[in-house]
Structure 1
């Protein structure tokens, strides 16, 4: 999903990893994977991204992320896991209905959406839902949408891993899980990127939405 569409890492992995290991153990693994995958995709997206929109979004998100991380460090783990699952379910339903924001993109709104995304990133590992609904509303083609999303996620990937390190959440178990899972992710991203050029969106979307709904349901009800 990440290689194909430019998003999907956090909204799938955050609820699943939170169910398996709890948010304080699962979110740091996902954030480190997100960082390394973002660096893998960013060079090919720079030339196609709309920096006028993406940089304010990313800057505001980067400032707000540490404040969201305070929630990750202090909230009840089971409650936070269920919130992550419910949030992903709502996001998946909104995507399935086709709803998008269809207004203009002035700077204050860019900053507001970025701030919301940063708070979510720090607390749940997921910055994507508000930004995806916001950016996919435009008239740009799929190539521009994908590049915008890749650039946004890359701008906040580094700052998002700092609070878990400072909070002592990145321990030996996190590094072991990362060592096992990251090679699978790294090998899958180029496959998804290649599929972007050959697989019609009408075949991709039902599969992607099904995965989102399943991941959210597991975390909410598991």
Structure 2
């Protein structure tokens, strides 16, 4: 999903891993994996992205990520897990409904979207939904949308791993899980990138949305 659409690592892995191991292990595992994936996809996407829009969004997200990380370190873990699941579920349903933001993209709004995304990233590992819903209604072609998302996730993934590390969440347990799971993710990202040029967007989108809604629902109920 990440290789195909430019997003999907966090919205699928954060709720699933939070159910398996709790947010304080699951979120750092996902953040480290996303960092490597972002660096894998960034070189090709950098030249295709709209940096005028994406760099302010990414910059604001970077500034607000530590505030979200404080929530991750202090919030009740069961409550946070259910919030992650509910957030993913609502996001999947919104995408399924076809709702998008159709207004302009002035700098203050870019900064506001980035700030919300950053706080969510620090607290839940998931920053994509507000940015995705904000961007996908634009007139750009699919290739530009994908590049914009890849650039955003690359910018925020670098800073997002620092607060959990400083807070003592990146221990041997987290690193062992990353070493085990990261090769699988890195092998599948190029497959998704190739499918982007083969599978019609409407077919893939239905499958991806089904995964999102199902993952969110399981996380809320588990």
Asked whether 1:56 is paired with 2:67, we answer no
Q: How many residues align?
A: 222
Equivalent in the alignment of 1:128:
128
Give 1:63 deviation, angstroms: 0.3
Deviation at 1:214, TM superposition (A): 1.1
Q: Structure 2 CA distance, aligned partners of 1:160 and 1:48? A: 24
Shift of 1:203: 1.0
Deviation at 1:210, TM superposition (A): 0.7
- C-alpha distance in 2, partners of 1:124/1:140? 29
Q: 1: CA distance between counterparts of 2:137 and 2:205?
A: 16
Cα distance in 1, alignment partners of residues 99 and 25 from structure 2: 33
How far did 1:206 drift? 1.1
SS of the residue aligned with 1:48?
coil
Give 3-state SS (helix, strand or coil) of 2:12's partner. Answer: helix
Could you tell me which residue of structure 2 aligns to residue 5 of structure 1? 5
Q: Give 5+ residue unaligned stretches, structure 1.
A: none
Measure, in 1, the Cα distance between the counterparts of 2:122 and 2:81: 14
Structure 1: distance between partners of 2:73 and 2:35: 20
Provide the rounded CA distance (Å) in 2 between the counterparts of 1:70 and 1:47: 34
Q: Structure 1 length as normaliser, TM-score?
A: 0.99
Match of 1:65 in 2: 65
The TM-score normalised by the length of structure 2 is: 0.99
Deviation of 1:46 after TM superposition, in Å, equals: 0.8
Q: CA deviation at 1:76?
A: 0.2
Tell me the equivalent position of 2:140.
140
* Correspondence for 1:182: 182
Moved over 6 A (4+): none
- Cα distance, 1:28 vs structure 2: 0.1
